[in-house]
Chains A and B, each alone.
Chain A
Amino acid sequence: MTQAALRDTSVDVFEKNQEWWWAAEKKRSTRLDYLRKAIWKKGAIGGLYAPGVKVDLERAKLHTQKAKEMEASPDPFVMKFAKILAHVLDNKTIFITDQAQLVGYTGSLPHTMAWDPSCASILNEEAYNDPTAIPDPVDENQQVIREICNYWIGKSDLDKMMPVFDMEDLMKMLSGSIGWGVPLARGGYSNKDYEYIMTGKRAFGDIIEELDRKIDEVDAEVHKPGATAETARMYDKLNNWDAMKITLEAGIRIAKRYARLARIIAENFEEDPQRKEELLKIASACEQVPAKPPRTLQESFQYDIFIQMMSRNEAIEGAWPSRPDYYHGPYYDKDVNIDKTLTKEEALDLVGEFLIRAAEVCQFKPKWTREGLQGIDGTWVWTMGGVKKDGSDACNDLTIAFMQAARLVRVANPTFSFRWHPKVSDEVMREIFECIRQGLGYPSMRHDPVLIANSMHWHGHPIEEARTWVHQACLSPCPTTKRGYQPMRMANATANCAKIIEYVFSSGFDHVVNMQVGAETPDVATLTNFEEFFGAWIEQMKTIFSILVRAVNRARMLAPTLTPRPFLSGISERSIESGLDTCEPSLAQGNAWITAFTWVENIDSLAAVKKLVFDEKKYTLAELKEALAKNWEGCEEMRLDFVINAPKWGNDDDYVDDIMLRCLDEAAKFSKVLKCPSGNNWPILPENVSGNIHYANIVGALPNGRRLGDALYDGGVSPGPGLDKNGPTAVLKSCGKIDHITGGRAFLLNQRLSPTQLADEKGYQLWRAYMRTWADLGIDHIQFNMVDDKTLRSAQKDPEKYQEVIVRVAGYSAHFVDISRKTQDNIIQRTVQGLG
């Protein structure tokens, strides 16, 4: 749209036409407009990075240079690592964007993607092999990358970790057919001990003082007459504490570098008095935090950004577990309502900018992440609402401000997930509805009472602890307390579950990757009844889950020594207290889960086999096996029979719904057999991100009629696209048959609703009624797409005009134009449900 057309069209007209992105552009402040447009889009488009976005060589060079320097150092590894991190932070380029009030970025410059070469040689290979992401001059920089790659071969975390895994499991994992991600403590999703670090009681300076006390105490202890095994272990604790201190001090120093830059700009370059004042305020904020606790909303946000920036310099983070309205809310209240030092509009600018700062964060990621999380850098699913530790409503004015700011800046990442409970006010629900109605695809809705009970059931969190939960990644609840928080969810316990049913037909041999991956169950053609067939399914399920869990368990056990996290430990009460790395399993309650990608394909396939093979005896298993081996080629009539004449999940049909319950029951039983190193359970969590597209070419033909290459279902317990034919209540009823407390850890449910139907007050009331049914059925999750087909098809034809259209992909949102054609089509195919 031209600037003139934008100027001449009123907000009302844009809103009437549901062109929310143009309306937002007219409504937001000049500052927010500038900052929003200043973002370099970092999420991979389809699977590739956008033009102009480049790998950050500065960080890789600084890291490698210091690692080489320290090779001969007598320091233990954890200290070396902490010193390298400090070196990177002390020497990286920093910047302050015009009009910004908040500072801090993972890379050196706004268009760069931070690249940590010490994580995995396979990631380094990707940097080397992607000329579109190598900065100019490409040839010269490729040689720099080559040298960095060569240095880290055999030395990176994953290179060190792989040889100590079980070789057979490792080869199966490396095939890429059953898992997703790596078992690394520096490559996954870190939650934080927010109850320790974000409640305003302490900041880095206080922790450093505490560390000094601890170090002196233990140092005195080890020098007393006598020696025991405990004395010998104390040296490791001292090293860990020293390393934590090094990283916290580096965090304070880099903040002071930002303060200094802000002052230099104010005193030497800036002529506008108002901007000078803002720069001095930035300087003051960065001198305060993270050294000391924040005093204002701006400082509280700044503190959070610094913690995230530090954590993202220490590790590759694929998520952003957070509860910003809860932890920043008291500062909003103080500044806006009590001290009145901020107007609501000024506060909204800060909230909007906080979203923008998070939206621009990026670290160079491997292929499976780019494909599996199309359009975003990682799942920044921020948790809103919910209850406090005492069970009272935790919503506050900042909850509302976040909803309003989200509609103004319209970023696809972070997204919100709202912890609904019966005490949530109508005012808050209306704000949420407005975000969904305006097509953001978020907040997703979570059933707080169900999920608190779920955390207590699966992992034994005490109720007060369970009530602090945040989304560790897209969906899984995890507390933010000393013992309850999980320092690292290693993503490779992510099962490509469609392989379970596929392997039943191949006796575990994977014909796509040419390897025996699953269990060697009997030839499917010899099975004589559904129970035998289902028994083979259970065997394959157990085999796949076990391979992935074994790898994570092994990595979790080795993490404290092979891949320590001194910074994350430095902001964790349990590590400050014990002197152990925060990944040490004995310190944690244990909050593991298996993400179950491509789960519902199993249900529809099992139902199709039961009905057409065993009940109606229209086909034999031998015939079906042959048809699948041929990818249904030459069997189109038969294939359509399996598509059309077999019952499908999501239609309130007990025939297939009962199969879902049986499968979940078997998985739940096995979840209690599988144990994490902290001794806790491994429940499953069906959801997909965009793994349904990533795996399209990896999953072979299935009995639900799917062919190799077809997109898989959009995931969780969502019905297959277009297969939920009995209306929205039938979908809820099917999902409501699942026990969302004991059946698994969480269950993703996508729904598409008509934006036209939900346009006014009547629409809001329809949605509230629908949500009441959802709540009454005890379903733990639901999320909505409310963009009509016409807009989406127009966006496919004319992407330039629809750059800002956002859709809900799975556990996250993305700009529609940033996802691959296959994913776009998959979203359009989802049934638009009419309510009422």
Chain B
Amino acid sequence: MTTCQECKSFFPLDEDQAKGDCVQRVKDPRQAYYMAKPVNAEDDCSSCASFHKKEFVQ
């Protein structure tokens, strides 16, 4: 199962790494914006069309 925390768009909360925001760039017909939606790190995002795997830098 793929989870939100593996995604580039996931930004964990400092105070609780199990929670965070899914932050995405959107361009609609009138404007461009960034949006944030609260998610849990462990949420299943197997069917999420916006999933982009996070690249880990050692």
- Whether A93 sits at the interface, judged by CB under 8 Å, is yes
Known: A261-B23, A264-B11. A91 touches B33 (CB 8 A): no
The answer to whether B30 and A95 have CB atoms under 8 Å apart is no
CA distance A109 to B23 in the complex (A): 13
Using CB atoms, name the residue of chain A closest to B23.
Answer: A264
Known: A90-B38, A91-B38, A257-B36. A97 touches B31 (CB 8 A): yes
- Whether B35 sits at the interface, judged by CB under 8 Å, is yes
- Whether A122 sits at the interface, judged by CB under 8 Å, is no
Contacting residues of chain A (82-99) with chain B, CB-CB under 8 angstroms: 90-91, 93-98
Contacts of A90 in B (CB 8 A): 38
The answer to whether B33 and A98 have CB atoms under 8 Å apart is yes
Contacting residues of chain A (35-77) with chain B, CB-CB under 8 angstroms: 37-40, 52
Known: A40-B30, A260-B21. A95 touches B38 (CB 8 A): no
User: Which among B23, B28, B32 is the interface contact of A111 at CB below 8 angstroms?
Assistant: B28
CA distance A93 to B24 in the complex (A): 11
Contacts of B28 in A (CB 8 A): 109-111
The answer to whether B33 and A95 have CB atoms under 8 Å apart is yes
Contacts of B31 in A (CB 8 A): 34, 38, 97-98, 110
Using CB atoms, name the residue of chain B closest to A51.
Answer: B29
Using CB atoms, name the residue of chain B closest to A263.
Answer: B11
User: Which among B29, B32, B36 is the interface contact of A261 at CB below 8 angstroms?
Assistant: B36
The answer to whether A98 and B38 have CB atoms under 8 Å apart is no
Contacts of A264 in B (CB 8 A): 11, 21, 23, 34, 36
Contacts of B36 in A (CB 8 A): 93-95, 257, 260-261, 264
Q: How far is the CB of A353 from chain B (nearest CB, A)?
A: 13
The answer to whether B35 and A109 have CB atoms under 8 Å apart is yes
Total A-B contacts with CB atoms under 8 angstroms apart:
56
- Whether B26 sits at the interface, judged by CB under 8 Å, is yes
Q: How far is the CB of A47 from chain B (nearest CB, A)?
A: 23
The answer to whether B30 and A261 have CB atoms under 8 Å apart is no
Contacts of A97 in B (CB 8 A): 31-33
Known: A52-B29, A110-B28, A111-B28. A261 touches B38 (CB 8 A): no
Known: A37-B30, A52-B29, A261-B21. A95 touches B11 (CB 8 A): no
User: Which among A39, A52, A265 is the interface contact of B34 at CB below 8 angstroms?
Assistant: A265
The answer to whether B30 and A110 have CB atoms under 8 Å apart is yes
Using CB atoms, name the residue of chain B closest to A100.
Answer: B33
The answer to whether A93 and B37 have CB atoms under 8 Å apart is yes
Known: A91-B38, A264-B11. A110 touches B33 (CB 8 A): yes
Interface size counted on chain A using CB atoms at 8 A: 24
Known: A93-B36, A95-B35. A38 touches B11 (CB 8 A): no
Q: How far is the CB of B4 from chain A (nearest CB, A)?
A: 15
Q: How far is the CB of A423 from chain B (nearest CB, A)?
A: 42
Q: How far is the CB of B35 from chain A (nearest CB, A)?
A: 4
CA distance A521 to B56 in the complex (A): 84
Contacts of B25 in A (CB 8 A): 269
Q: How far is the CB of B27 from chain A (nearest CB, A)?
A: 9
CA distance A90 to B39 in the complex (A): 11
Contacting residues of chain A (7-49) with chain B, CB-CB under 8 angstroms: 34, 37-40
Contact with A along B10-50 (1 / 0, CB 8 A): 01000000000101011011111111111000000000000
Q: How far is the CB of A577 from chain B (nearest CB, A)?
A: 34
Q: How far is the CB of B29 from chain A (nearest CB, A)?
A: 7
The answer to whether A39 and B30 have CB atoms under 8 Å apart is yes
Contacts of B34 in A (CB 8 A): 95-96, 261, 264-265, 269
Contacts of A260 in B (CB 8 A): 21, 36
CA distance A821 to B28 in the complex (A): 30
Interface SS of B by simple majority: strand
Known: A93-B37, A94-B35, A264-B11. A38 touches B30 (CB 8 A): yes
Q: How far is the CB of A38 from chain B (nearest CB, A)?
A: 3
Interface SS of A by simple majority: mixed
Contacts of A111 in B (CB 8 A): 28, 30
Contacts of B37 in A (CB 8 A): 93
Using CB atoms, name the residue of chain A closest to B8.
Answer: A268
CA distance A346 to B21 in the complex (A): 32
CA distance A90 to B31 in the complex (A): 25
Contacting residues of chain A (107-164) with chain B, CB-CB under 8 angstroms: 109-111
CA distance A614 to B1 in the complex (A): 87
CA distance A517 to B23 in the complex (A): 56
Contacts of A94 in B (CB 8 A): 35-36
Contacts of B29 in A (CB 8 A): 52
CA distance A468 to B51 in the complex (A): 53
CA distance A110 to B28 in the complex (A): 9
Among B11, B28, B30, B38, the most chain A Cβ lie within 10 Å of the Cβ of: B30
CA distance A95 to B25 in the complex (A): 9
Among A37, A40, A94, A268, the most chain B Cβ lie within 10 Å of the Cβ of: A94
Using CB atoms, name the residue of chain B closest to A257.
Answer: B36
Contacting residues of chain A (257-281) with chain B, CB-CB under 8 angstroms: 257, 260-261, 264-265, 268-269
Contacts of A110 in B (CB 8 A): 28, 30-31, 33
CA distance A265 to B35 in the complex (A): 10
Q: How far is the CB of B13 from chain A (nearest CB, A)?
A: 8
Using CB atoms, name the residue of chain A closest to B32.
Answer: A98
CA distance A659 to B21 in the complex (A): 65
CA distance A52 to B26 in the complex (A): 15
Using CB atoms, name the residue of chain B closest to A267.
Answer: B11
CA distance A95 to B34 in the complex (A): 5
CA distance A91 to B35 in the complex (A): 13
The answer to whether B35 and A93 have CB atoms under 8 Å apart is yes
CA distance A95 to B24 in the complex (A): 9
Contacts of A40 in B (CB 8 A): 30
Q: How far is the CB of B18 from chain A (nearest CB, A)?
A: 15
Contacts of A257 in B (CB 8 A): 21, 36, 38
Contacts of A269 in B (CB 8 A): 25, 34
CA distance A812 to B29 in the complex (A): 28
Using CB atoms, name the residue of chain B closest to A258.
Answer: B36
Q: How far is the CB of A3 from chain B (nearest CB, A)?
A: 17
Q: How far is the CB of B15 from chain A (nearest CB, A)?
A: 11
Contacting residues of chain A (230-262) with chain B, CB-CB under 8 angstroms: 257, 260-261
CA distance A37 to B32 in the complex (A): 11
Contacting residues of chain A (197-254) with chain B, CB-CB under 8 angstroms: none
CA distance A94 to B26 in the complex (A): 12
Using CB atoms, name the residue of chain B closest to A58.
Answer: B37
CA distance A257 to B34 in the complex (A): 13
Contact with B along A297-340 (1 / 0, CB 8 A): 00000000000000000000000000000000000000000000
* 6 A-B residue pairings within 8 Å (CB atoms): A38-B30, A40-B30, A95-B34, A98-B31, A110-B31, A265-B34
10 more contacts with CB within 8 A, not counting A98-B33, A109-B35, are A91-B38, A93-B37, A95-B34, A97-B31, A97-B33, A109-B28, A257-B21, A260-B36, A261-B23, A261-B34
- Residues of chain A at the chain B interface (Cβ within 8 Å): 34, 37-40, 52, 90-91, 93-98, 109-111, 257, 260-261, 264-265, 268-269
Closest 3 CB pairs of A and B: A38-B31, A95-B35, A261-B36
